[in-house]
Amino acid sequence: MATPTADIGLIGLAVMGENLVLNMEDHGFTVAVFNRTTSRVDEFLAGRAKGKKIVGCHSVEELVASLKRPRKIMIMVKAGSAVDAVIDQLAPLLEPGDILIDGGNTHHPDTTRRTRALKEKGLLFIGTGVSGGEEGALRGPSIMPGGNPDAWPHVKPIFQAIAAKVDGNVPCCDWVGPEGAGHFVKMVHNGIEYGDMQLICEAYHLLHALLGFGADALHEVFDRWNRGPLDSYLIEITRDIFGYRDPESGQPMVDLILDTAGQKGTGKWTVISSAELGVPLTLIAEAVYARCLSALKEERVRASGILKGPAVESFSGNVQQFVDDVEMALYASKIISYAQGFALMRAMARESGWTIENGSVALMWRGGCIIRSAFLGKIKEAFDRNPALDNLMLDPYFQGELERSQSGWRRVASVAVSHGIPIPAMSSALAYYDGYRSDRLPTNLLQAQRDYFGAHTYERTDRPRGEFFHTNWTGRGGTTASTTYNA
């Protein structure tokens, strides 16, 4: 058999897989490729891979034989059982110390399970988030690897070479943590992406429905916002979307698109995870539910003729001031969303015994991925100042930014409410801000209610924490406290 020549193998030549291969090759690595439907290998070799250091293989055995040791194989197939099928095919052909990498959108518990199972066989598993879409995969994605830490030194030179770069030459890729940590962080990235997109849509709704701004005016506003603290990929593409006209009708394309959204599930997983960990992730939850509500198109159309809103005149305030207020509302809400997302990662790290460095995550998201922005640089600085920061809002910079933007944020919330325009993400963000900064919430009453109907007991303001009391509120039912009723 010929001497192995390839630095890494890749299985799954859909567009993400192909683009990653071309990116690796472009950085000097020889890549062996395989796809279940082998005609795809031939098409790739004859097409985009022609003349490049890419070794086409027609079986997994051939792929394994073409790799230098320790072998490194990246799996880019559909998340779920396909990943297990490929791993089961490969594992018997590999030797201890060989490395398998899943670069798909896998749910993190699967990655934890695979990392553990393969470790038993001496194989080193990595589950990595790859973000940036097709373009990112080709030109520089954000890469978030986690799993067996022994694999990282072998994979690092390849991953950091192909990753997006910021601030000169800093790669948007670093080791995230053990087991499913990489895929967990990618999941939170996607949740934050849901939140960012929903916030932008709410800003659009306010400017469009309330101020009557059309696509051209919106294009201008987003162009200006993209040069301020909101500077980001998503604001930039939104600006460009408003500038795009339907080639046939000449109308703004955005006006012709049906207002119902789909979702693939990563936003939902993020929200489920927040509920399991008991971390408020209200903004992303609202963003997920806003998509669900949008999908009820026929119901909404029927209800629009039945349910009445406020009888408010059209907007009568200062238009320029209101546009600036909406910018502030968007910006402040975005700070809340990231504060909640980073708090979730901190809680998951604690719960799982993982080490996830929030500053390092912020750096990985700075470039390459969909939520890339200048703002993430500020988040990185905040976690550099204090890696153990409980909540991003408490960092002096973000505290100041929230203070600066909250009057506009509050004005937007009240105008939206009085005009009947839904801003679930912006208003829930404000509720979280006001809740988090409250030293006293109405939960004393909640505890009284729980104790009244279920003898759940309560602690007292005039006694030390940890002492529990029960009141016989009705004079009936005795004085026995419930100790086994905690959900």
Q: Which residues are known binding-site members for NADP(+)?
A: 12-17, 35-37, 77-79, 105
Q: Please tell me the distance from the alpha carbon of residue 324 to that of residue 332, in angstroms, as a whole number.
A: 12
Work out how close the CB of 297 gets to ligand 2AM at its nearest, in angstroms, rounded to a whole number. Answer: 30
Q: Please tell me the distance from the alpha carbon of residue 227 to that of residue 113, in angstroms, as a whole number.
A: 44
Q: Among positive and negative, which fits the CA dihedral 3, 5, 6, 12?
A: negative
Q: Please tell me the distance from the alpha carbon of residue 62 to that of residue 345, in angstroms, as a whole number.
A: 40
Q: Residue 82 or residue 277: which is nearer to ligand 2AM going by CB? A: 82
Q: Residue 79 or residue 319: which is nearer to ligand 2AM going by CB? A: 79
Work out how close the CB of 16 gets to ligand 2AM at its nearest, in angstroms, rounded to a whole number. Answer: 8
The DSSP annotation for 211-269 comes to T---HHHHHHHHHHHTTTTT-BHHHHHHHHHHT-B-TTT-SBGGGGS-S-----SHHHH
Contacts of 303 (CB under 8 A, 6+ apart): none
Region of residue 140 (phi > 0: left; psi between -120 and 50: alpha; otherwise: beta): left
Comparing CA positions, the residue from 8, 10, 72, 12 lying closest to residue 36 is: 12
Work out how close the CB of 168 gets to ligand 2AM at its nearest, in angstroms, rounded to a whole number. Answer: 35
Strand 99-102 and strand 72-75: the pairing is parallel
Cα 424 versus chain centre, distance: 18
401 a catalytic residue: no
179 a catalytic residue: no
Annotated binding site: which residue ranges?
12-17, 35-37, 77-79, 105, 131-133, 189-190, 194, 264, 291, 450, 456
Q: Please compute, for residue 89, the number of CA atoms within 13 A of its CA located in the half-sphere on the CB side.
A: 18
Q: What angle do CA 417, 341, 127 make, to 5 degrees?
A: 140
Q: Residue 86 or residue 370: which is nearer to ligand 2AM going by CB? A: 86
Q: Residue 40 or residue 456: which is nearer to ligand 2AM going by CB? A: 40
Work out how close the CB of 17 gets to ligand 2AM at its nearest, in angstroms, rounded to a whole number. Answer: 6
Work out how close the CB of 106 gets to ligand 2AM at its nearest, in angstroms, rounded to a whole number. Answer: 13
Work out how close the CB of 185 gets to ligand 2AM at its nearest, in angstroms, rounded to a whole number. Answer: 23
Q: Residue 34 or residue 458: which is nearer to ligand 2AM going by CB? A: 34
Q: Please tell me the distance from the alpha carbon of residue 404 to that of residue 389, in angstroms, as a whole number.
A: 21
Bond before 96 cis per omega within 30 degrees:
no
Q: Residue 14 or residue 217: which is nearer to ligand 2AM going by CB? A: 14
Helices (H), 265-395: 266-277, 282-295, 297-304, 319-352, 358-364, 375-385
Work out how close the CB of 21 gets to ligand 2AM at its nearest, in angstroms, rounded to a whole number. Answer: 12
Q: Please tell me the distance from the alpha carbon of residue 334 to that of residue 283, in angstroms, as a whole number.
A: 9
Strand 8-11 and strand 72-75: the pairing is parallel
Q: Please tell me the distance from the alpha carbon of residue 9 to that of residue 70, in angstroms, as a whole number.
A: 11
Work out how close the CB of 63 gets to ligand 2AM at its nearest, in angstroms, rounded to a whole number. Answer: 12
Q: Residue 94 or residue 376: which is nearer to ligand 2AM going by CB? A: 94
Annotated binding site for substrate: which residue ranges?
105, 131-133, 189-190, 194, 264, 291, 450, 456
Q: Which residues bind ligand 2AM (CB under 6 A)?
A: 12-14, 35-37, 40, 77-78, 82, 85-86
Per annotation, catalytic residue among 72, 186, 334, 378: 186
Q: Residue 104 or residue 147: which is nearer to ligand 2AM going by CB? A: 104
Per annotation, catalytic residue among 25, 179, 193, 327: 193
Burial class (CB in 10 A: 0-12, 13-18, 19+), 402: buried
Contacts of 60 (CB under 8 A, 6+ apart): 11, 34, 86, 89, 90, 93
Catalytic residues: 186, 193
